[in-house]
């Protein structure tokens, strides 16, 4: 699989574009993720001409509106320029399958950015550039580099990236009813782990050649929205037990007992998700099932990323 195109704040790659002339190079991004992602760097503050180094800016609430202005020179308002730059990049962003942003940035922060009201900071803001970018690209998985340190958030983001990548590959090959049905079937267990998949199944069931495009647009919007929910152990256990049902006639009593014990120990937090998944894969190698073999739940992304080792 070729590298997946991902947008990223330039400073996270080590580019000296910060307001102080420095960078915030992230070793996990430039090391591990760089093997799988093709990073497309953007620095909106430099792009709109603020320069490097530059006077710092912050978010301020003025007359019920959030503005991005200079800390020492509030008359220098960059809000409209940052939004315009995000709109200008809309065609380029349409080719991306994810975006990693610099946390706390008044231009790039995804959440909990400081907004000053009457001189008092409140962590309830979104970077101006990022807010516009996310509105323009509702399907795009977006995350901050700081949050990637959390195993659940990291796995959730990368899973969404790979799902959107596979969706775009399917569209390149040509959207068909059978292709959409197959896409749903292969992702059904992933959807089940995130929540109720019945609405999406009903959408697929009513897809026809005449209704295909609007159904597909509604489907992927629902899918990318439901995938934002970070999966908990209880939901994974539900899926693992569902998968176990495909082996009910193939396993010996001892094998069934062992598998049940491993799933239960995972539920109790005594072992990571990789353990029951590895055991299930072992049994399906001996007793193949086409549906399980094709399901992305068992292998949602390259194993070398080691994401499920910490879940």
pLDDT for the residue 195? 87
- Rounded CA-CA distance 263/103 in Å is 36
Share of the chain above pLDDT 90, in %: 92
Residue recorded with tokens 């934002």: 228
Per the structure block, which two tokens stand in for 200? 């999406």
pLDDT for the residue 206? 86
Contacts of 139 (CB under 8 A, 6+ apart): 164, 220, 221, 224
Pairing of strands 57-62, 37-42: unpaired
DSSP bridge partners of 115: 59, 122
Residue recorded with tokens 């792009």: 47
To which H or E segment does residue 62 belong?
Answer: strand 57-62
Per the structure block, which two tokens stand in for 24? 């915030």
Q: Across all residues in the chain, what is the average pLDDT?
A: 95
pLDDT for the residue 142? 98
Residue of 116, 117, 107, 113 lying closest to 125 (CA atoms): 113
pLDDT tens for 3-24 read: 999 999 999 999 999 999 999 9
- Rounded CA-CA distance 30/39 in Å is 9
pLDDT for the residue 261? 97
- 3-class DSSP state of 142: strand
Question: Is the model's pLDDT at 159 over the cut of 90?
Answer: yes
Q: Specify the higher pLDDT residue, 196 or 36.
A: 36
Q: Average pLDDT, stretch 23-51? A: 96
pTM here is 0.95
pLDDT for the residue 235? 96
- Give the residue extent of every domain in the chain: 4-149, 151-311
Q: Is 194 exposed, middle or buried (0-12, 13-18, 19+ CB in 10 A)?
A: buried
Residue of 89, 15, 93, 100 lying closest to 52 (CA atoms): 15
pLDDT tens for 168-206 read: 999 999 999 999 999 999 999 999 999 888 889 999 998
pLDDT tens for 65-116 read: 999 999 999 999 999 999 999 999 999 999 999 999 999 999 999 999 999 9
- 3-class DSSP state of 143: strand
Residue recorded with tokens 């996270």: 12
pLDDT for the residue 3? 96
For the chain, report the end-to-end CA distance as a whole number of angstroms.
25
- Angle of helix 274-286 versus helix 233-244 axis, rounded to 10: 10
């Amino acid at each position: 699989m070729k590298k997946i195109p991902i947008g990223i704040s330039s400073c996270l790659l080590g580019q000296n574009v910060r307001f102080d002339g420095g960078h915030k190079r992230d070793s996990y991004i430039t090391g591990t993720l760089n093997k799988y992602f093709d990073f497309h760097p953007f620095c909106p503050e430099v792009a709109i001409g603020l320069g490097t180094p530059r006077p710092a800016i912050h978010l301020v609430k003025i007359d019920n509106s959030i503005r991005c202005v200079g800390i020492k020179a509030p008359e220098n308002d960059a809000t409209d320029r940052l939004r315009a730059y995000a709109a200008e990049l809309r065609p380029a962003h349409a080719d991306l399958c994810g975006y990693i942003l610099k946390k706390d940035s008044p231009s790039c922060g995804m959440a909990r950015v400081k907004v000053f009201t009457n001189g008092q900071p409140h962590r309830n803001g979104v970077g101006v550039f990022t807010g516009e970018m996310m509105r323009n690209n509702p399907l795009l998985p977006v995350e901050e580099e700081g949050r990637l340190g959390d195993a659940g958030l990291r796995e959730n983001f990368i899973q969404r990236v790979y799902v959107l990548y596979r969706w775009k590959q399917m569209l390149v090959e040509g959207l068909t009813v059978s292709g959409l049905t197959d896409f749903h079937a292969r992702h059904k267990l992933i959807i089940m782990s995130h929540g109720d998949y019945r609405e999406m199944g009903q959408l697929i069931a009513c897809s026809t050649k005449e209704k295909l495009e609007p159904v597909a647009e509604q489907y992927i919007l629902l899918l990318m929205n439901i995938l934002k929910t970070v999966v908990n152990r209880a939901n994974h256990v539900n899926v693992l037990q569902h998968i176990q049902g495909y082996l009910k006639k193939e396993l010996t009593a001892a094998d069934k007992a062992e598998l049940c014990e491993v799933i239960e120990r995972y539920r109790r937090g005594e072992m990571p998700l990789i353990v029951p998944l590895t055991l299930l894969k072992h049994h399906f190698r001996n007793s193949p099932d086409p549906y399980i073999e094709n399901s992305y739940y068992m292998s949602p992304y390259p194993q070398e990323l080691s994401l499920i080792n910490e879940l």
